[in-house]
């Protein structure tokens, strides 16, 4: 398995089926925003794609917060059923955040089951939709 850091804004379209739309953002909105972030400030975006046997198996997209440069937001995360290397992606985001001088990972999760998974499996904390993980 290989983990690629996608940096070319033109390649974002290839990830379109992997994006998880929300009430506020469609897949097209996510695609356009990610393209713009990669064009405007590529050093503040981490777009990881796990590839096994030539096929994408997982994505994890994060970016440095627009409000606080000490926080990294995990924006999109999705894995194929049966993919067991999620911790590799999470560790890569932690190392990237440390390298950028950030001390906290944040994400927003509406499903209570996924909030429990983030708490139990990865050590996230928080109440409500917003979850946080201290890197340093």
Give Rg (Cα) of the chain. Answer: 14
Mean of per-residue pLDDT scores for the chain: 92
| pLDDT tier, 82 (very low <50, low <70, confident <90, very high otherwise) | confident
- The SS3 call for residue 34 is helix
How many angstroms separate the CA atoms of 132 and 124, rounded? 5
Measured between alpha carbons, how far is 4 from 47 in angstroms, rounded to an integer? 8
Angle made by CA atoms 10, 46, 105, in degrees to the nearest 5: 150
Confidence band, pLDDT 50/70/90 cuts, at residue 123: very high
DSSP 8-23: -GGGGGGGGGG----S
**61, 44 Cβ separation under 8 angstroms:** no
Residues with Cβ within 8 Å of 85's Cβ and at least 6 positions away in sequence, in order, are 1, 50, 57, 58
* pTM assigned to the model: 0.87
Beta pairing class for 71-79 and 104-108 = parallel
Question: Cα 58 vs. chain centroid, distance in angstroms?
Answer: 10
* Band (133; pLDDT cuts 50, 70, 90): very high
Domains of the chain from N-terminus onward? 2-134 (3.40.630.30)
Between CA 120 and CA 81 the distance in angstroms is: 19
């Amino acid at each position: 398995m290989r983990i690629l850091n996608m940096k070319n804004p033109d390649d974002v379209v290839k990830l379109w089926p992997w994006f998880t739309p929300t009430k506020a953002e469609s897949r097209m909105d996510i695609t356009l925003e990610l393209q713009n972030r990669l064009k405007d400030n590529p050093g503040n975006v981490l777009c990881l794609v796990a590839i096994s046997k030539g096929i994408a198996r997982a994505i994890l997209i994060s970016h440095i917060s627009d409000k606080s440069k000490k926080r990294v937001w995990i924006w999109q995360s999705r894995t194929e059923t049966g993919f067991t290397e999620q911790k590799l992606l999470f560790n890569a985001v932690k190392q990237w955040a440390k390298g950028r001088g950030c001390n906290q990972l944040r994400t927003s999760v509406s499903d209570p089951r996924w909030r429990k998974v983030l708490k139990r499996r990865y050590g996230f904390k928080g109440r409500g939709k917003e979850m946080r993980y201290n890197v340093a």
